[in-house]
Amino acid sequence: MTFAFEYGPLVIALLMAGFIAGFAGGLFGVGGGIVTTPAFYAVFQTLGFDDEISLKTAIGTSLAVIIVTSLRSLAAHHRAGSVDGDMLRAWAPWIAAGAAIGGLAVRWAPAEILAVIFVSGAFYVAWRRLFSRKKAPPAPLNLMRKRMKIPLGLGTGLFSSLMGIGGGALGVMVMTLSGRSMHQAIATSAGFGVAVAAPAVIGFIISGWGLAGTPFSSIGYVNIAAFTATALTAGFAAPLGARAAHRLNADILSKIFGVYVLIAAASLAWDIFWG
């Protein structure tokens, strides 16, 4: 009974975060880490772990959840025929390489640097959701050229792994700016999430391997208990979001999501730098 009263609200919060992350990942192609990273951080802080351990474990665990949400979203988008398989195959190795570098480098990255990366990226995502205006489609760019896919792929993987997101925030932006449709950008970016998360998780496990002070049931910087609770609802919700992306005008939902991201990023920044 004591366990239920003490940890029950935290478990419920993780289940809710997983559902929101999965639905958002499917609907907006963002992988869901923009939701789960601040949620995990808040849970680990509540349990008494220090800032650096809490943030790194939150990012690593979010990346593990992204594997589930991205695979589920990718399958749903593939059935709808919206995934650009050629681009995904061309970009995935470079995204994976950048993500692996980020996962391995996190061992030496101060929590403040990771917080700046996350908050900066989150504020940009929120700004795009809240204030972006529809413009005439730009002239299409050839994203298959080496001078495009190598630096942008490496950058997407590195930045996304350090932020704990699935690559969708950058992938959607790159594809839409190059003249691709929003549906195709969201669908293909779900595949970017797999390319980011799988190697990054391995890097986070190696980076945190054997360190003292990590939360119970952690393997390196990936917490199995938090991953399991969140992945259950995230895996269920991701296809729902993916199907909704093809049926709904998502402008209002996009703005609601932007408000959430803005609040979550501001809260995390306050806790790290001024809390």
pLDDT in tens, 158-192: 988 988 877 766 777 777 777 777 778 878 888 88
- CB-count exposure of residue 20 (10 Å: 0-12, 13-18, 19+): buried
Token output for 198: 């799988």
The pTM of the full predicted model, rounded to 2 decimals, is 0.83
- Using the predicted structure, report yes or no on whether residue 43 has a pLDDT greater than 60: yes
pLDDT in tens, 83-116: 888 889 999 999 999 999 999 999 899 988 888 8
Contact between 52 and 112 under an 8 Å Cβ cutoff? The reply is: no
Phi, psi of 12 (to 5 degrees): -60, -40
**How many CB atoms neighbour CB 250 within 10 A?**
18
Contact between 242 and 76 under an 8 Å Cβ cutoff? The reply is: yes
Give the rounded percent of residues in the chain with a pLDDT score beyond 70: 87
Give the Cα separation of 257 and 249 in Å (integer).
14
Average model confidence (pLDDT) across the chain: 82
pLDDT at 2: 44
- Using the predicted structure, report yes or no on whether residue 4 has a pLDDT greater than 60: no
pLDDT at 31: 58
Of the candidates 152, 186, 181, the one whose C-alpha atom is nearest the C-alpha of residue 169 is 186
Give the Cα separation of 75 and 204 in Å (integer).
26
Contact between 26 and 242 under an 8 Å Cβ cutoff? The reply is: yes
Helix (H) and strand (E) counts in the chain: 10, 2
Contact between 92 and 136 under an 8 Å Cβ cutoff? The reply is: no
Distances in Å between the Cα of 137 and the Cα atoms of 145, 181, 273 are 20, 9, 40
pLDDT at 29: 59
- Using the predicted structure, report yes or no on whether residue 138 has a pLDDT greater than 60: no
Give the Cα separation of 92 and 225 in Å (integer).
29
Instruction: Give the mean model confidence (pLDDT) for residues 120-126.
Output: 81
Q: Which residue has the higher pLDDT, 132 or 148?
A: 148
Distances in Å between the Cα of 57 and the Cα atoms of 17, 98, 163, 235 are 16, 19, 12, 20
